[in-house]
Amino acid sequence: MYANGNQPIIVLKEGTERTKDKEAQFNNIAAAKAVADAVRSTLGPKGMDKMLVNTIGDVVITNDGVTILKEIEVQHPAAKMVVEVAKTQDNECGDGTTTAVVLAGELLKQSEELIDANIHPTVIANGFRMAAAKAVEVLNGIAVDASSDEILKKVAVTSLTGKSIGDEHDRLAEIVVKASKSVAEDGKVDTDNIRLEKKVGGVIGDTYLVEGVIIDKEAVHSRMPKKVENAKIALFAAALEVKKTEFDAQIQITDPASMSAFLAEEENSMKAMVEKIKEIGANVVFSSKGIDELVQHYLAKAGILGYRRLKQSDLEAIGKATGATVVGSVMEITKKDLGTAGLVEEKQVGEDGMAFITKCKNPKAITIFVRGGTEHVLEEVERALNDAIRTVGVTLENKKVVAGAGAPEIELQLRLSEYASSVGGREQLAIEKFAKAMEIIPWTLAENAGIDSIDSIIKLKNAHEKKKDGKYYGLDLSTGEAVDMFKLNVIEPLKVKVQAISSAEEVASMILRIDDVIAARRSAPPAGPPGGGMPGGMPGMM
């Protein structure tokens, strides 16, 4: 800037980068499209996987959209906003993350033509908002009620399809439905109460549901019983050992008798702990802290099974499964604090011992014990199960589903195109572009399956306009034909679609309204090693 005296006025700090107007908008759109393109090839049952290697060499192999976007280090601020869409979708629904990101990228791509035609970004954002509201209305109109176990299982199978789990969809879907219904209470499903415990070994088909909790710990003493039936369980958030002072202290003992008395007192206090546990009738003990060797000895002598150094979350899960209360002091515990389980058993799984707390009455926390041949397989099965659990959970809560395989998106494309002509004004152009963007989902599904995308879109549109139940027709990725998805059992929760469209619209509108990007100068990178060598590390992505 220059004042009247032609003296420059420095407003921004030296080194600050600034892009304005269309340049800023197109830069932001390009960054968001790059993120969408990064995950687009993973969409659908025929989607491909990504191998992600971090800076220390850890490998993740997945086609889960949110996992991919969390692992890659995105630098551009607009790209980060799109990554946030995936995280929100994952938090709200557990599935549909790739759909949300691909839709956001396509909405921005479609808006480029409108910006080029000098249509104001605020007008485009208003049109997108109107289209999203109409889309939610249309989705609610085509949704069907879902309450039976059969539909819940189909929702789980649809979510699991395309993940690296072989042919175990049906078996895992049954486990997921049973687990979700077990923790459902008053119409709400707290999926945090479904724990996934992984152990390398066996095959994916060996995965099973435990109506209780599994703890990856071994008993503290070899002479303790390996199996306790009709278990009475005590939970301690305290150490079963003599309490140490919180500050450095020295005890001076001048004669052997005092030493013997001191040691005897220590032993008596530990004996008293075990006597208290015996007195209230507990025969299994779990502690989040340590158990002294002498206490271990007395517990084993009394036939009490003991485990130490559990995570706080493990204690809470055992409490939910058995009805036990976590107690902060051994001497304060009462019979009311005990939990019950039909069986507590230590089993050898591979090289390690694990505690299985089973046959619990009405457990509020249960465990899916996941098996698989390698660590990478286990991690992908865990991600697949997490997605399926969340989708079944939102279906149990929302009780509404829609057809999958691009059926709702094509229906939206047709209905929004009709709606656009009734709106008029410049917003009509934005609504038409929003409708056009909906085609990207069936287009990508076809593309990833090696089917002609243009033919697929034409077949779907014809089916939706001419068939009796056309709104349920999606793309059969085996044949490339338009088929009723309810007959093919490809079903998705309504909430997943609503959330994906709403989130994509919000982030697209926010990015479009940015007309000025002012970026401060980055701090200088660390100097290279002495002798002129290159510094380590690789440049960030995007």
Alpha-carbon distance 336 to 511, whole Å?
57
CB 480 within 8 A of CB 451: yes
**Cα–Cα separations (whole angstroms), residue 508 to 75, 159, 251:** 18, 26, 70
Q: Is 337 a catalytic residue?
A: no
Catalytic, out of 42, 62, 64, 158: 64
Q: How many CB atoms lie within 10 A of CB 177?
A: 24
Alpha-carbon distance 257 to 271, whole Å?
21
Alpha-carbon distance 235 to 253, whole Å?
36
Residue 246 tokens read as: 């919180």
Q: Which amino acid is at 273?
A: M
Q: Is 255 a catalytic residue?
A: no
Catalytic, out of 95, 314, 387, 484: 387
Residue 173 tokens read as: 């879907």
| Residue 368 Rama label (left phi>0; alpha psi -120 to 50; beta) | beta
H or E element: which one contains 506? Answer: helix 494-512
Q: Is 292 a catalytic residue?
A: no
3-state secondary structure of 492: strand
Which residues, at least 6 apart from 254, have a Cβ–Cβ distance to it below 8 Å? none
Alpha-carbon distance 139 to 391, whole Å?
17
Catalytic, out of 62, 88, 97, 395: 97
Alpha-carbon distance 97 to 95, whole Å?
6
Catalytic, out of 42, 62, 67, 98: 98
Residue tagged 């009311």 (tokens): 336
CB 404 within 8 A of CB 146: no
Q: Is 64 a catalytic residue?
A: yes
Alpha-carbon distance 476 to 405, whole Å?
7
- Residue 126 has phi, psi (to 5 degrees) of -65, -45
Any idea which residues carry the catalytic annotation?
A: 64, 97-98, 387
